[in-house]
Chains A and B, each alone.
Chain A
Amino acid sequence: MIIIGERINGMFKDIGKAIREHDPKPLQEWAAKQKEGGAHYLDVNTGPNSEDQTVDLPWMINVLKECTDLPLAIDTTDYDAMEAALIAYGKPGALINSIGCEQEKIDRVFPMAAKYQADVVCLCINKVGIPKSAEDRVAMAMEFVANAEAYGLQPDNLFIDPIILPVNVAQEHAVEAMETIRQIKMISNPPPKTTVGLSNVSQKSPHRPLINRTFAVMAMAAGLDSAICDANDDELVDAIATARVILNKDIYCDSYAKVFRQR
């Protein structure tokens, strides 16, 4: 289970301020802290207040590249900023986050992914909106996979996100999202990877961490490979480590939760 730490995002006050002042310190602190928590990737997002993402995002990438060996997830819908960030990153293994299921977006981003050897988060969402049924979501996942082949990407370069909605207002979606994850594993060999924006499931609900970690282990049982989430929610990371042991993904030992964080 790949944990993509969500904290380096301009929506958070301290990061927003650091971006405005180009102060690397908070970014570096959060990079170290999230790694310690158990993150395998760091999501990097300027937030909505950035004056110019094509400047701010590469700056963030450069700061983080200097201080951490974790791969970075470049989180933006501004494709020029995305490309500038990929150039700044300058090595294979970045994660592009994200594109929706529209041909012009695929045609813009997949060649970038191939050129810079990056993986791509693909959202099961298009102009029409978010599909409700698993079947419609899987059809979009299939579109991504079929396109990946055409652009010389492997199916497992894709992290397909079935889109998870808040359980308090869109209760019927979570179970469809899990069914989508299950079916995505049958699309190709090797199958695409799957991911979710985990915190979405608990938006505006009480007991958010409880909802998050419960959904995480259920989705893992359906075949979830990764999640964008709070890598410093220790109970969440414990639950993920436990689920991996129960799913026979990691060999059991008494200190499995500690071992999971060290990998």
Chain B
Amino acid sequence: MALTGLDIFKQLPKTNCKDCGSPTCLAFAMAMANGKASLDMCPHATEAAKETLGAATAPPVRTVKVGVGEQEIVMGDETVLFRHDKTFYHPTALAIQISDTLSGAELDAKIAKVNALVMDRVGQKIAIDMVAITNCSGNAATFKAAVEAVAAKANFALMLVADAAGLEAAVPAVAAKKPLLHAATAENWEKVVELAKANNCPVVVKGNGLDDTAALVEKVAAQYKELVIDFGNQSQAKTLAEMVNARRLAIKKKFRPFGYPMLACTQATCAREEIVEATTYVAKYASIVCMKADEQALLLPLMAWRMNIYTDPQKPMAVDAKVYEIGDVTPDSPVYICTNFALTYFAVEGEVVGSKIPGYIVAVDTDGASVLTAWAAGKFVAEPIAEFVEKMGIMSKVNHKNIVIPGYVAIISGKLKEKSGLDVIVGPQEAAGIPAFAKANYPHLMK
């Protein structure tokens, strides 16, 4: 929501002097809300008014970056409360804790384990983004050594979790990596923020609940704005409510103290519960989730969840345009042609599985458009289909020359035969007709 007339009116001197060219301050406020006037036209506006109105035009959630180069994480700059209203932009960073009580071989093994948490999912790389070195030893020198060891080997952005003394010892050595400092609290914020500022690092402001954190952020933001908010994590339900309220206030009410990315640490002690807790935070506005779990099997569903939540709902979901083998295919198996729109592909896949007759599905690249949409746009017609089938080399895997096309595009069958030199069979109009179609045509292939 842009600035409203009332917001602006409250900041005006209310002289109705007409020096701005508008008949009243009210009219001028409305002109400004409409973008037809600017505050500098009012010669009597106070500095405070200029500051307030300037801040209100800033984005609701500030962009804050951690790490450098390949490891850089961009956080914040979100604009909606629900992904269906637009999209969520910057996926939640997952941070794994490493205690400084580990050393030598133990520490190396832990770093190696975290570094290995990189996986492929539907053709995209998903990974952990951050390691959080925690000062469990309570000793500043031990912490510094652990931080340096991790920084030398870990492939991820760093978060340093310690008190002021620990941070002062460790930060200068790794400042070039732009680590995130955790945390500035009511007791130590002057020191920690001074350190963050001097080393150009973002810093977590950790309060205790909404009111307390807002007050602390206001104090800190007067001096430094590269901030991430932590509400103190007392319980999952409380943290969830705090993050929802904070994001709502930032976006809907332009409440500046909450206009920053947020961090949540998992509280659950059991690793499986920790993952469930983390999924809640990923879905509800956390920019960083800091956790102890480091098992690939546990983190994979969490990363998949993050990937799904942060996909752009405005773009059609597509599967990889390629040939899929359904069941134990043989050279006799039928070849079905469809588009790479996820809904289309999965409808066809489900029915081919249901037919109990193994088959190949060729998901033609239609930029994620459905059969009729792609046909209407000229992406699912004879020429591109023939080219794609040729490129995939699928016909060299089978001992027949038949391809099955969706019944709704029967009209392209003649031309497709001509272009591809294959025998084009017009299949059912709906994928639901595939089992009956397959049983009628390939009874000998029934499994």
Contacts and interface: CB of A to CB of B under 8 A. Distances in A.
A187 B6 contact: yes
B29 A142 contact: yes
Contacts of A239: none
Nearest to B33: A186
Interface string B18-36: 0000011011011001100
Q: How large, as a class, is the contact surface on chain B?
A: 10 to 19
A128 B396 CA distance: 87
- Describe A's contact surface by its main secondary structure: helix
A188 B34 contact: no
B252 interface: yes
Nearest to B32: A186
Contacts of A237: none
Given A139-B30, A142-B26, A183-B34, A191 B9 contact: no
Contact of A142 (B1, B23, B30, B252): B30
Contacts of A19: none
A33 B424 CA distance: 61
Given A189-B1, A189-B252, A183 B30 contact: yes
Interface string A127-153: 000000001001100110110010000
A258 B88 CA distance: 35
Given A142-B29, A146-B26, A187 B34 contact: no
A142 B2 contact: no
B26 A188 contact: no
Interface string A162-196: 00000000000000000000010011110100000
A155 interface: yes
Contacts of B33: 183, 186-187
Given A183-B34, A186-B33, A186-B34, A191 B26 contact: no
A189 B8 CA distance: 12
Given A142-B9, A146-B9, A186 B26 contact: no
Nearest to A191: B4
A187 B4 contact: yes
B59 interface: no
Contacts of B253: 189
Contact of A139 (B4, B7, B26): B26
Contacts of A183: 30, 33-34
Nearest to B2: A186
Contact of A146 (B1, B2, B6): B6
A183 B9 CA distance: 15
Contacts of B23: 139
Contact of B7 (A135, A138, A143, A189): A189
Contacts of B316: none
Given A186-B33, A187-B33, A143 B6 contact: no
B384 interface: no
A135 B22 CA distance: 11
Contact of B24 (A139, A145, A186, A188): A139
Nearest to B254: A189
B252 A187 contact: no
Contact of A138 (B2, B4, B30, B252): B30
Interface of B: 1-2, 4-7, 9, 23-24, 26-27, 29-30, 33-34, 252-253
23 contacts: A135-B30, A138-B30, A139-B23, A139-B24, A139-B26, A139-B27, A139-B30, A142-B5, A142-B6, A142-B9, A146-B9, A149-B6, A155-B6, A183-B30, A183-B33, A183-B34, A186-B2, A186-B4, A186-B5, A186-B34, A188-B4, A188-B5, A188-B7
Given A138-B5, A139-B26, A142-B30, 19 more contacts: A135-B27, A139-B30, A142-B6, A142-B29, A143-B26, A145-B5, A145-B6, A146-B9, A146-B26, A149-B6, A155-B6, A186-B4, A186-B5, A186-B30, A186-B34, A187-B5, A188-B5, A189-B4, A189-B253
